[in-house]
Amino acid sequence: MSCVHRLLTRETYTGVHHYNCTDSRLNRQRPKEWVAISVPPIIEADIFARVKALLHQRRPTETPTRITNSEVLLTGIVHCENCGRPLMIRAGKSGRYRYYASSGFQD
């Protein structure tokens, strides 16, 4: 797990740290016998919940990798307001200009 992912998913930053989560002998998570310790919050709980939902939504098992790893900035995010289809990059003037157009658009 990367450091950034660990920062985005650790509940300690919301104000509650759980102690006694893993069994050191077996190196696996214990059942919910955790001890909650109050700590000063750094992140508001609603922001943490939104980040968690976004991470869940963008998991590779939920979203195809061609969308999450695309070099095209708005891939999978922007849709045509008329037909609802996703927008694609189109090129004009022999590739000199690039613009977004509906995937339903026919030349």
Q: What is the pLDDT of residues 7-47, one digit of tens each?
A: 788 888 888 888 777 777 887 887 777 788 888 988 898 99
Mean pLDDT value across the chain: 80
Same domain, 72 and 23: no
62 lies in some domain? no
Q: What is the pLDDT of residue 50?
A: 92
Residue 52's domain spans which residues? 1-57
31 lies in some domain? yes
- pTM confidence score: 0.49
Which DSSP string do the residues of 39-102 spell out, in sequence order?
A: ---SS-HHHHHHHHHHHHHT-TTTS-HHHHT-SSTTTTT-B-TTT-PBEEEEEETTTTEEEEEE
Same domain, 94 and 43: no
Same domain, 79 and 52: no
Same domain, 28 and 53: yes
